[in-house]
Amino acid sequence: MITARHRNIALLVAGCYFMEMLDGTIVTTASPQIGRSLRAPATEVGLVVTAYLLTLAVLIPLSGWLTRRYGNRVVFLTAIVLFTLASVGCAASVNLGMLVAMRVLQGAGGAMMVPVGRTMVLSPAAKEDILRASGATLRAKGDVGLASDAPIRLDTDLRAEHAVHGRGVFAMSASNLSSRAFNSSFSASNF
């Protein structure tokens, strides 16, 4: 049986998954604006994408070890905080080196969010409910994507964001995820 608490955790994990996927892909679209804002050539801006995805891929196995050592709740909340603070750091970056360093931190947080979150959703589920719990996470991911604070019409909104800062996509990421994790009905007791 999937409880309301379990469904709430699945929704939070889906929000994290949505933000991780958004950060992994949207920077490619925003690369020209980021390059202009930081006065960096397009070839160097590619490091922003590579640093995030490489860190994410390398550190995912570490999340299992950290979870066994410190517990799901601690690792998951730490990952959300790290990801959110790194997103703020990305938005505040004044040069390409700082942006790449913040993307590495963001990748470290992202590497822990989704695998640990999935463990939190699937581990308490009874064997016959695992498929249903996985489906709840996927449905919630779709709901989060549609009902998120992130602009749906990214082409227009990103141009407006980048006209001001050039790195507004990272601020959008930080505000979206932190509001979901800490200003919603997901209290620490849900973990």
Decide if 168 is inside a domain. yes
| pLDDT bracket for residue 26 (50, 70, 90) | confident
27 pLDDT more than 60: yes
Decide if 101 is inside a domain. yes
56 pLDDT more than 60: yes
Mean per-residue pLDDT over the chain, rounded: 74
- Cα-based distances in Å from 62 to 20, 69, 77, 176: 17, 11, 16, 26
Runs of H (alpha helix) within the chain: 4-38, 42-70, 72-92, 96-122, 130-147, 154-164, 168-182
| 165 or 18, higher pLDDT | 18
Decide if 70 is inside a domain. yes
pLDDT at 163: 36
Residue 130 maps to which CATH number?
1.20.1250.20
Tell me which residue range forms the domain holding 67. 4-183
Decide if 191 is inside a domain. no
Decide if 115 is inside a domain. yes
**Structural domains in the chain (count):** 1
Decide if 40 is inside a domain. yes
pLDDT at 125: 62
| 49 or 188, higher pLDDT | 49
pLDDT at 140: 46
Q: By C-alpha distance, which of 135, 107, 99 is closest to 13?
A: 135
pLDDT at 16: 85
Decide if 91 is inside a domain. yes
**Which amino acid, one-letter code, is at 48?**
V
| 127 or 35, higher pLDDT | 35
Give the distance from CA 176 to its chain's centroid.
9
pLDDT tens per residue across span 94-152: 999 999 999 999 999 999 998 898 888 777 666 666 566 555 555 544 444 444 433 33
pLDDT-wise least confident of 57-66, 78-87, 120-129, 177-186: 177-186
48 pLDDT more than 50: yes
pLDDT-wise least confident of 37-41, 85-89, 184-188: 184-188
pLDDT at 87: 93
The predicted model scores a pTM of: 0.69
